Amino acid sequence: MADQQSPTLPTEETPDLPQDKKGRRKKLFIIFGVVLVVIAALVLAWQLIFAWRSVSTDNAYVGADVAQVTPLVSAPVSAVLVEDTQHVKKGDVLVRMDDSDARLALQQAEAQLAQARRRFRQTAATGQSLDARSTARQADIRAAQAQVDAAKANFDKARVDYDRRKALAANGAVSGDELTSATNALQTAQANLSLAQAQLAQMKATKNSAQSDAAANRALTSGTTIDTNPDVEAARAARDKAQLDLDRMVIRAPISGVIAQRKVQIGEQVAAGKPLMSIVPTGRLYVDANFKEGQLTSVRAGQPVELTSDLYGGDVVYHGKVVGLGGGTGAAFALIPAQNATGNWIKVVQRLPVRVALDPKELKAHPLRVGLSMEATVDVSGQ
């Protein structure tokens, strides 16, 4: 019994373990609170010192000046050579249309041009003929004038003979037969003179008519050649229009880009102006960043912009610049604008689109597509 040891009782030096854990936990909470205060202070300092240097928004989307491919003439489609998502270069053939009617129209226009050229040559030749006829009429006038002069001389001689015999007949020196012969000769000479004068007048009228015809013909060809004649030029313009319509039977890409919204099918009868497809110029994209109206105080054209895309994440940063600010908010240009003059009006913060140009080299390295979401940060420190 004496050798049996009694159990050891705790002394006052033994530490109270639960109380020690509470103390350490309290210290950790204090340290954590201090860290939070320091972080908040740093964030506040960053806001006060650096945040004013930029404005950001995630309400930004990729856009482009999409080219609409439309035919300029009406015809059936004979071949479609592209598909959606296909990349094309400027000048590549997209669609071919049946050109049978266009070829016939071109042949008809070429025939009309040849006829116009022939008519001009014929008119020019007719003018020369009319000039020669006018010259010939002048010779006829001279001959008629000579006949008038001869008839007048005969008339004067016949009148002198008649007057002499008439005077002698009163004394009985000339018989009645001689006086009758002289009278008949005078009347014949008078008739011949009148006929010669009429023929002269007719020759002069014929000459005037020939000169008028020649002048009218010269008016058709004066100051022009076979290439500058109005009728020939009109026929040539019709031929060129027919050739242009034939060339337009082959529709080519107006820009380089990616095919989108292809709607045309082989055999379809398309009308002029009907949209067939769109081409998105992926190398010339831009971003429309919609900033709140309170963020636009310091935004100016030419300021640098950093952008990130949801497609690539924050690892790829695009560098652009502000091109300009929109002329109105989205609400102002909406299909049904808001009517704020109502009794239940509630103020809504408006957003204004800011156009940002992208670097083509960066777009080539990391392509984007129209409509993708972007986050834009404008550096306004250099305002």
Domain at 155, CATH number = 1.10.287.620
Q: Which residues contact 329 (CB under 8 A, 6 or more apart)?
A: 293, 350, 351, 352
- Residues making up the chain, counted from first to last: 383
Average pLDDT, the chain: 82
Q: How confident is the model at residue 211 (pLDDT cuts 50, 70, 90)?
A: low
Residue pair 145/204 in contact (Cβ under 8 Å)? The answer is: no
What distance in Å separates the CA atoms of residue 370 and residue 178, rounded to the nearest whole number?
A: 123
Task: Tell me the torsion sign for CA atoms 47, 49, 50, 53.
Answer: positive
In a domain, 270, yes or no: yes
Q: Indicate whether 109 and 238 sit together in one domain.
A: yes
CB atoms within 10 A of CB 70: 14
Indicate if 141 and 222 belong to the same structural domain: yes
The answer on pLDDT for 320 being more than 70 is yes
CATH code: domain of residue 265:
2.40.50.100
Structural domain includes residue 71:
yes
Does residue 175 sit in the same domain as residue 235? yes
Domain boundary among 190, 224, 243: 243
- Integer CA distances (angstroms), 260 to 45, 83, 88, 373, in order: 49, 8, 11, 19
Structural domain including 272 reads 67-99+248-279
Task: Count the domains in the chain.
Answer: 2
Residue 249: pLDDT over 70: yes
Residue 296 domain flag: no
Q: Which range, of 278-282, 345-349, 364-368, averages the lowest pLDDT?
A: 345-349
pLDDT in tens, 64-113: 999 999 999 999 999 999 999 999 999 999 999 999 999 999 999 999 99
CA distance 276 to 261: 8
Q: Residue 170 above 80 pLDDT? A: no
- pLDDT score of 274: 93
Q: Single out the residue of 369, 373, 367, 378 nearest to residue 308, CA to CA.
A: 373
- Residue 76, helix vs strand vs coil: strand
pTM of the model: 0.64
The pLDDT of residue 21: 65
Model confidence at 366, pLDDT cuts 50, 70, 90, reads: very high
Dihedral (Cα; 281, 284, 290, 294), 10-degree rounding: -170
* Residue 230 CA neighbour count, 13 Å, CB half: 5
Low-confidence winner among 11-20, 190-199, 253-262 (lowest mean pLDDT)? 11-20
Sign of CA dihedral 214, 215, 217, 223: positive
Do 95 and 106 lie in a common domain?
no
Identify whether 261 is part of a domain.
yes
Does 91 reside within a domain? yes
Give me 242's structure tokens: 């027919």
Does 23 map to a domain? no
